Amino acid sequence: MAYTPSPENYFLGKGALYFDRFDSNGNKTGELHLGNCPDFSVAIDVSEKEHKSSLTGVATVDKKVTEQVTATVKFTLEEFVTENLLIALLGDEGTLTQAAGSVTTPEAYAVKTNRWYKLVYRNVSNVVVKDETDTTTYVENVDYRVDAEVGRVYIIPTGSISDDDVIHVTYDYGDLSTTIVKALENSQIQGYLRFIPATDQTGPRHECEVWKVDLRPSGEIGFISEDWAQMPIEGSITADTENHPDNPYFRLIKL
């Protein structure tokens, strides 16, 4: 232990942030490492109520009381995994599935050139595009293009398909099972937050445990960006008097 004053007490923090999201019943589900977080901070805000005397011409403050004390956290997520996106987009996790099959009854689309048209299924193959009467078969990469992964058809302006034509599309589609983020399903994400400092950081090491925090996004998410994209998060620390009556907000543990 370094006593003050000492340069050993100067602080340059690094470490790992973990979040244990509560389920719908308020139960923990397990601590998730949030990955690389370039910043993590805790802020204490004290609001005071002042009383001013009216006994003199110049009003003076003759009484001041603390009205409210609140605490907030801020941090930035950099790893675009599903669990982090659920926090940043106030989302719930879901699954998108489809069993392999074929579309034999044509899907009909009234089209314009230089436009994409979304098919019913994804992961498509063997796409055939015909005219409305099924007498003309159009040529792929001449009259239309296919985005097989997401399942859509593009009408090439220089091809044989004209604006307001109706096309018929048949195709095969493969098995699919993937995770989706259902955004804006929650007004906030509640859970337990833990910061564990790096063993080689500069200065004293303190673990931080926040019993209950309500997280929400605090800025834009750059899905198109010239720099590394980030997800800024902030949260309000709320009291957990049921489980921690003697220390209901958060604590630091000297390591």
Residues 9-34: tens digit of each pLDDT: 999 999 999 999 999 999 999 999 99
Residue 164 CA, chain-centre distance (Å), reads 40
CA atoms within 13 A on the CB side of 133: 2
> Which amino acid does the sequence have at 239?
A
CA distance 124 to 205: 54
pLDDT at residue 66 greater than cutoff 90: no
Reply yes or no on whether the pLDDT at 211 is more than 70. yes
Say which residue the tokens 């859970």 belong to. 191
Mean of pLDDT values over 144-157: 98
Arithmetic mean of pLDDT, 89-117: 98
- Which SS3 state, helix, strand or coil, does residue 8 take? helix
What percent of the chain lies above the pLDDT cut of 90? 87
What does the pLDDT read at residue 214? Answer: 97
Greater confidence (66 vs 194) lies with 194
Q: Check: CB of residue 118 under 8 Å from CB of residue 103.
A: no
pLDDT band at 48 (very low <50, low <70, confident <90, very high): confident
Task: Say if residue 1's pLDDT is above 70.
Answer: no
For 97, half-sphere exposure in the C-beta direction (CA atoms, 13 angstrom radius) is 3
pLDDT of residue 253: 96
pTM of the model: 0.88
More confident residue, 153 or 47: 153
What is the pLDDT, as a whole number, of residue 190? Answer: 97
Q: Which residues contact 161 (CB under 8 A, 6 or more apart)?
A: 111, 113, 129, 138, 143, 144, 155, 167
The pLDDT of 190-199, averaged and rounded, is: 97
Instruction: Express as a percent the part of the chain with pLDDT over 70.
Output: 100
Domains of the chain: 10-93+182-254 (2.40.30), 100-174 (no CATH)
Residue 180 has pLDDT above 90, yes or no: yes
